[in-house]
């Protein structure tokens, strides 16, 4: 599941219609599609020391999941950090906080999602935590969880849900493909959706 680009909407449907991070965490790079395993980091406001120590722990294919608790007054990452993370094998960075130096991010080449952009920089004093469960964008994220992203946002699949989500994903794809084909052929509503509509508790007033 982590080795291919997956539509986040399909993943959400496959894991029970949930799992997406807060909509305010948006791509600040042109490239938004990624999939990989989470490496979690918690930093405190105005400090990104733990994020820099985490660079030494990145394994190829990791997604750095950095939470600053939604703090928006100083950036957690910049262009040099992004380049170092890429060089270690990170496939994306997701920040529940701010980024800076974003004009050069596309040249570095890996997706970055953040709450926003600000020029203020962080100190490097600590404390912080790496590899611990974190609360990020309304979701719990643990190191090793699968994380996927695209223009619709970032979705987390806990490791314990990976097998069932992967199995359900194939069925979701099959149904979605069938619906797209029906719509492309001129159909107004797929048969399954029409059947659900028949007994829907909806009042219509003309």
Q: What is the pLDDT of residues 4-24, one digit of tens each?
A: 557 999 999 999 999 999 999
Give 3's pLDDT tier (boundaries 50, 70, 90): very low
Q: Do 59 and 87 lie in a common domain?
A: yes
Residues 131 and 35 in one domain: yes
Same domain, 176 and 80: no
Co-location of 87 and 136 in the same domain? yes
The predicted pLDDT at position 163 comes to 92
Q: How far apart are CA 79 and CA 92, in angstroms?
A: 13
Greatest distance between any 2 Cα atoms in the chain:
65
pLDDT band at 56 (very low <50, low <70, confident <90, very high): very high
Do 186 and 113 reside in the same domain of the chain?
no
Question: What total of structural domains would you count in the chain?
Answer: 2
Confidence (pLDDT) at 2: 42
pLDDT tens-digit map of 77-128: 999 999 999 999 999 999 999 999 999 999 999 999 999 999 999 999 999 9
Residues 186 and 100 in one domain: no
Judgement on whether residues 109 and 187 belong to the same structural domain of the protein: no
Specify whether 28 is located in the same domain as 92.
yes
Beta strand ranges found along the chain (DSSP E): 26-27, 34-43, 62-67, 75-77, 92-96, 98-99, 112-114, 116-117, 128-130, 134-136, 139-141, 146-150, 153-157
Say what the pTM is.
Answer: 0.88
Residue-wise pLDDT for 156-206, tens only, equals 999 999 999 999 988 888 887 778 787 887 877 766 666 766 677 777 787
Q: What is the pLDDT of residue 26?
A: 97
Within this chain, do residues 112 and 190 fall inside the same structural domain, yes or no? no
CATH number at residue 20: 3.50.30.40
70 occurs within a structural domain: yes
């Amino acid at each position: 599941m982590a080795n291919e680009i997956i539509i986040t909407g399909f993943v959400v449907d496959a894991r029970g219609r949930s799992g997406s991070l807060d909509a305010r965490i948006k791509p600040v790079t042109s490239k938004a599609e990624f999939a990989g395993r989470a490496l979690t980091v918690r930093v405190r406001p105005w400090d990104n020391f733990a994020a820099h120590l985490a660079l030494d722990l990145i394994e190829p294919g990791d997604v750095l999941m950095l939470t600053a608790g939604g703090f928006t007054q100083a950036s957690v990452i910049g262009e040099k950090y992004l380049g170092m993370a890429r060089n270690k094998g990170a496939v994306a960075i997701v920040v529940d906080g701010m980024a800076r130096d974003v004009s050069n991010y596309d040249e570095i080449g890996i997706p970055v999602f953040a709450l926003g952009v600000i020029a203020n920089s962080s100190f490097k004093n600590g404390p912080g935590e790496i590899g611990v469960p974190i609360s990020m964008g309304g979701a719990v994220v643990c190191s090793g969880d699968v994380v996927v992203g695209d223009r619709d946002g970032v979705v987390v699949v806990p490791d314990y849900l990976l097998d069932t989500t992967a199995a359900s994903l194939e069925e979701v794809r099959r149904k979605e493909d069938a619906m797209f084909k029906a719509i492309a052929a001129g159909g107004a509503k797929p048969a399954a959706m029409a059947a659900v509509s028949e007994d829907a508790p909806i009042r219509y007033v003309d």
